[in-house]
Amino acid sequence: MACIVMKFGGTSVADIERIRHVATRVKREVDAGHSVAVVVSAMAGATNQLVENVRSAARLYDLREYDAIVSSGENVTAGLLSVILQDMGVAARSWQGWQIPIVTDEAHGSARILEIRSEELRHRLENGEVAVVAGFQGLEPNRNRITTLGRGGSDTSAVALAAALKADRCDIYTDVDGVYTSDPRIVKGARKLDRVTYEEMLEMASQGAKVLQTRSVEMAMKHHVPVQVRSTFEERPGTLVVDEEEIVEKAVVSGVTYSRDEAKITLRNVPDRPGVAASIFGPLADSAINVDMIVQNISPDTKTTDMTFTVSRSDLDRAVGVLESRRDELGYADLSAEEDVVKVSVIGVGMRSHAGVAQQMFQALASRGINIQVITTSEIKVSVLIEEAFLELALRSLHTAYGLDAT
């Protein structure tokens, strides 16, 4: 008898019929003798509607109230799934974040889980009751106000719960049937991966693959929670996310991802003095603008430097505003901003032991006439910024170049 956490996203619980289908999947695990905790998202569209209501209420709003409002969608799904499970003869009850409680820090709107008091839950699971837990929400340390974990937070709720319960498996049910080598809507030959390492999954999530929330992967890696990404609607097995040691044949590259949420800013002829980077990026950080890729070119002749970096598209206007307001202080000659860029990344733990992966990428792109604007690398990833028009061509070329195409 195993202990299993099952997580169902918004499209999987979009209406009563789909929740009924989810209940049959839960019942099957219960009938197989397993202890089951289920984590649910809000019904598809419900959270967006609530967020829209908050935004039309006020331009600037108290994040504590935002959390109190937007967390209600998950409570509804948890209650409905419990009702349906009971109707099928499966003992079940719903749990809201404060009832367990799932204690988080005070960062309303994007809180981190600190502790899950799982004794009562574990006791009930052992007695055969299914715990249906509202995802995405928690309780701040004073235990009076609701927090939320940020978009996609239900994945994190599920992994954290699996860690607290020392569950044997955490199954993330979604509308795709696993993790793919690339986006199958663009790359025809994209293949579902049977296994992927936590580190690869983490890079894929942060480099644009939307299948799991980044924080949930970090947490799974930290607590060694065996995660499986699989389809709510189809029966076949999904993709296991596991420790590197559990993968015998490590691919050099296991995936090619992309992100369209990129915008490029270039400052030309910035006086090249110590601390110039801090003087540019400090004010951006103060305005809660995340900077991703950064390139600095120094012209020794003019004693100035060109600084190029990327931000998320939704932050571009604000970033430009911050930099223009400090133009005199920063002393740059020219500021340019571009939105028609995308980031393409190749990811694989095999890179650690293989040289030439980046070189292969640059050649594949060059052979198609694709110009690289910015490059960043990590131990298991190479990312390049290119013009958006070349996105599909780049993905297909790289997928083929690294031998990932399905045969």
Interface with a copy of itself by CB under 8 A: which residues?
A: 16, 19-20, 50, 53-54, 56-62, 64-66, 68-69, 72-73, 75-76, 78-80, 82-84, 86-87, 93-94, 96, 98-99, 144-146
Helix axes 16-31, 72-87, angle to 10 degrees: 60
* Calpha distance 283→311 (Å, rounded): 14
Using the minimum distance from each CB to a copy of itself, give the nearer residue, 71 or 397.
Answer: 71
Q: Percent helix, strand, coil in the chain (nearest 5)?
A: 40, 30, 35
Nearer to a copy of itself, 84 or 193 (CB): 84
Query: CB of 365 within 8 A of CB of 397?
Result: yes
Residue 79 vs 283, nearer CB to a copy of itself: 79
Q: Are 194 and 172 in contact (CB under 8 A)?
A: no
User: Least separation, in Å, of the C-beta of 215 and a copy of itself?
Assistant: 24
Q: Read off the DSSP letter of residue 370.
A: P
Q: Which is nearer to a copy of itself, 16 or 389 (CB)?
A: 16
Query: In the bound complex, what is the minimum distance in angstroms from residue 87's beta carbon to a copy of itself?
Result: 4
Structure-token pair, residue 310: 């990327």
If the CB atoms of residues 64 and 250 are measured against a copy of itself, the closer one turns out to be: 64
Could you tell me if 334 and 320 are in contact, meaning their C-beta atoms sit under 8 angstroms apart? no
Least distance from a copy of itself to the Cβ atom of residue 169, Å: 26
Q: Which is nearer to a copy of itself, 54 or 375 (CB)?
A: 54
Select 134 or 217, whichever has its Cβ closest to a copy of itself: 134
Shortest distance in whole angstroms from residue 137 CB to a copy of itself: 12
Strand, helix or coil for residue 147: strand
Residue closer to a copy of itself by CB (options 24, 336) is: 24
- Minimum Å gap between C-beta 24 and a copy of itself is 14
Asked if residues 292 and 310 have their Cβ atoms less than 8 Å apart, the reply is: yes
Which among 177, 175, 90, 70 has a CA at the least distance from the CA of 132?
Answer: 90
Between 57 and 298, CB nearer to a copy of itself: 57
Shortest Cβ 257–a copy of itself spacing (Å): 36
> What is 227-271 written as a DSSP string?
EEEEESS--S--EEEE-GGG-SS--S--EEEEEEEEEEEEEEEEE
- Report, in Å, the least distance between residue 153 CB and a copy of itself: 18
Of 279, 150, 264, 259, nearest to 209 by C-alpha is: 259
Quote the CA–CA distance of 1 and 91 in Å, as a whole number. Answer: 17
172 closest CA partner among 40, 58, 32: 40
Considering the complex, what minimum distance in angstroms separates the CB of residue 130 from a copy of itself? Answer: 12
Question: Cβ 207 to a copy of itself, closest distance in Å?
Answer: 35
User: 45 with 10: CB under 8 angstroms?
Assistant: yes
* Cβ closest to a copy of itself, residue 92 vs residue 176: 92
Residue 209 has which token pair? Answer: 């693959």
| φ, ψ for residue 390, nearest 5 deg | -95, 5
- Provide CB contacts within 8 A for 35, sequence distance 6+: 1, 2, 3, 4, 125, 126, 128
Q: Give min distance, CB of 49 to a copy of itself, in A.
A: 10
Residue 180 gets which letter from DSSP? B
